[in-house]
Amino acid sequence: MSKNFSLRIDPINLPRRLREGLQEADSLLERGEPQQALELLSELNKSFPRQSDILGLMANANLNMDNQHGYLHAIHELHELTPNRAEVKLGLAGAYLSNGYPALALLTFRQFLKRWSHDERASDVEKTIPQLENVLSELLNNLGDSLETGFEFACQHEEVRLLMESGKYIRCRQLAKKLLQQRPDFVPILNNLSQVDWLEGDLSGATETSRNVLEIDPQNIHALSNLTRYLFMQGKKDEAWEFAKRLKDSSADAAERWVKVGEALSFIGDDDGLLSLFNQAKNANELDQWNENLWHWCAAAEYRKGNISTARKHWQACLKLAPYFSLATKNLEELKKLQHERACPQTFPLEMWITRKTLESLTSVTQRAVRQKSDDTFRARIAEYFDRHPELIHFVPAALANGDEQCKEFAINLADMSSHPAVFDSLKEFSLGQDGSDSLRMEAAQLLTKHGIFKSGETLDLWIEGESRPLMMLGFQISYDAQDRPKLKPAAQRLMEQAIYALRDEDGAKAEIHLRKALEIQKDEPGLFNNLAVALSMQKKHDEASAIADEIPARFPDYFFGQVITVRKAIQANDLKTAQSVLDKMMQKQELHVTEFGALCGCQIDYMIENDKPEGAVSWFEMWEQGYPDDPALKNYEHKIAMIDVFAKLKDGFPKSRRKSKKRLN
């Protein structure tokens, strides 16, 4: 008895953006694109809430996609605005019926019949009502009640469920407590309150409520399923698996039994349990009772087992039931990629683990912490919040392994903003493993390098394109914009620019003139001294150039190019310990100007060659080529790298008995 709703758009009174949005959404629906229409309408609904025209089209879009759950919430909100429209009242009754709210469906059908008894659809409603009364009577009799005495309570119980799903937690809790005064041990209400506790960010309260339910009904499917999830979120994995076993062993009847069992098993990653559940349903000829979520969870389990073709079939079955199910669509798209490029399986969305209340609370804490002047203080505040909300800590490894794209991005951001040791441990294990896409594991490794967990310049064996490869970690970014440099006075800046042009033209004398004039204006700028040393050296005034270069590191110890000078002098003196110490300091800088990056690469190559590590020299040269291919200094190292390749080939070509020891290149 679901129904499409016609629009009554007043082009004069509606705001232009709303009017045009509604017209575009209506056109999308006419063209058979309900998903795109719904996305547009959802955005409009945020800007223009409680608009009947928007809600009517949202109901139509959901109906066209056979998304009964979305249809219910759209038509319910529309009914609150327009309760006196017959088609809306009838549509709401049908939505209740399709979504498992028999008491509210019966109540709404009765209201329709009372108000519109002469409507052409009244005869169908008259046939439906007795059928519903029989179903509801049976349900209430099983609870020791009757339709006459228990109908109002049943309606209010279903309203609790609806309020919870609609995010109206205060009203939901108020009504639930009112019902518990009548029936203190009514388990379905307690299970709903448990979920409301979690949705409001009270994970410990949710856990306690679920435990209370199990004291009343030890085999209760919903409580066992919820508690399994809550414990797993808190990192209590062993206990979660114990309750999962009780869940699988329970013989209790339950509404949506298959879904609640499958949800918990998928959440903790019990793939064997999920596939066993599938076989149970198949053997019982009850796969027709499976909804899109169950097919999706089993698809993810099959994928993790390496059964790609079966996973694909399950995701396709999911989309036959629910074409709007975006996770199935996304996973099927990922299966088209090479394995090392896949972000698969994407099993759960962000809201499955992190509730809206928790996100709001984290945002508030972050806004207060960002006022701190110290980055360390900021991260300490965030880490303290994580300790109070362990679900955030344990979310990270789960999200990296099985979350959707939003989950994975959020997990990386959580690690970056908190620097929490437990989160970094999870990130480290992930980056060194084989799960997930190469790009995501590289992003995790780079973040750990940024925070010093991996040493900048350290070579790690990471899995790339299905094989373990040595890769050097870099903890800095390359910028073409000069940053963190003292600003020159305008006159000195102009002279400096003229000197740079002269140096590029290899006119050292002209550059020297400009630089000496600039130093008269600004005497304590290390960059001017450094370029003056280059200009003098270009004119073969080596003694004077050397004297200035020697003075720069002493006068300006934090100047990057002064550190370059120190490294080169140490390498020439074969003082590799000093060279390594200064290089380590240079590698700690989080952002390098492209010229600084080129100078660092050159120093690293010289150090690697002097330290008899030709493979490292080649790696740095390759990174230099990728990061700053236009650096004119690259050509000065091409011969050295070519010689390394020649000696490597010669060495590999000799029989073992004739191979010579490694040769130092200078």
pLDDT digits (tens, 9 = 90+) for 101-142: 999 999 999 999 999 999 999 999 999 999 999 999 998 888
Single-letter amino acid code for the residue at 498: Q
Verdict on whether the full-model pTM lies above 0.85: no
Count the residues in the chain: 666
Residue 294, both tokens: 């169950």
* 8 Å CB contact between 62 and 94: no
Superfamily grouping for domain 476-556: Tetratricopeptide repeat domain (1.25.40.10)
Q: How far is CA 561 from the centre of its chain?
A: 39
Q: What is the mean pLDDT of residues 329-347?
A: 95
Give the pLDDT confidence score for residue 77 in this predicted structure. Answer: 93
DSSP-assigned beta bridge partners for residue 403: 348
Q: Does residue 653 carry a pLDDT above 60?
A: no
Q: What is the dihedral of CA 294, 300, 301, 307, to 10 degrees?
A: 120
What are the pLDDT digits (tens) for 483-500?
Answer: 445 578 888 888 888 988
Give the pLDDT confidence score for residue 486 in this predicted structure. Answer: 56
Parallel, antiparallel, or unpaired for β 459-464 and 477-479? unpaired
Single-letter amino acid code for the residue at 660: K
Q: Which residues of 555-581 are buried (b: 16+ CB within 10 A; e: fewer)?
A: ebeebbbbbbbbbbbbbeeeeeeebbe
What are the residues whose beta carbons fall under 8 Å from the beta carbon of 75, sequence distance 6 or more?
Answer: 55, 59, 88, 91, 92, 95
What are the pLDDT digits (tens) for 439-453?
Answer: 899 889 989 988 889
Phi, psi dihedrals of residue 470, rounded to the nearest 5°: -75, 125
36 confidence band (pLDDT: 50, 70, 90): very high
Q: Does residue 666 carry a pLDDT above 60?
A: no
What are the pLDDT digits (tens) for 169-192?
Answer: 999 999 999 999 999 999 999 999
276 confidence band (pLDDT: 50, 70, 90): very high
Q: Does residue 4 carry a pLDDT above 80?
A: no
Q: Which pairs with CB-CB distance under 8 Å and at least 24 residues apart come from 188-192?
A: 188/157, 188/222, 189/157, 189/160, 190/216, 190/223, 191/220, 191/222, 191/223, 191/226, 192/160, 192/161, 192/164
- Tell me the percentage of the chain whose pLDDT exceeds 70: 94
Please tell me the distance from the alpha carbon of residue 254 to that of residue 219, in angstroms, as a whole number.
10
* 8 Å CB contact between 495 and 515: yes
665 confidence band (pLDDT: 50, 70, 90): very low
What are the residues whose beta carbons fall under 8 Å from the beta carbon of 369, sequence distance 6 or more?
Answer: 377, 378, 381, 382
* 8 Å CB contact between 191 and 226: yes
- Tell me the percentage of the chain whose pLDDT exceeds 90: 57
Please tell me the distance from the alpha carbon of residue 252 to that of residue 225, in angstroms, as a whole number.
12
Judged on CB neighbours under 10 Å (0-12, 13-18, 19+), 391 is buried
Please tell me the distance from the alpha carbon of residue 105 to that of residue 154, in angstroms, as a whole number.
11
E strands present in 590-639: 591-593
What are the pLDDT digits (tens) for 70-90?
Answer: 999 999 999 999 999 999 999
* 8 Å CB contact between 597 and 560: no
Q: Which pairs with CB-CB distance under 8 Å and at least 24 residues apart come from 12-15?
A: 14/53, 15/48
Phi, psi dihedrals of residue 159, rounded to the nearest 5°: -65, -35
Average pLDDT, the chain: 88
Query: What's the Cα-to-Cα distance from 432 to each of 344, 406, 459, 553, rounded to whole Å?
Result: 18, 22, 12, 39
* 8 Å CB contact between 70 and 55: no
H or E element in which residue 79 lies? helix 68-81
Give the pLDDT confidence score for residue 152 in this predicted structure. Answer: 94
Residue 566, both tokens: 């120190």
Higher-pLDDT residue of 651, 64: 64
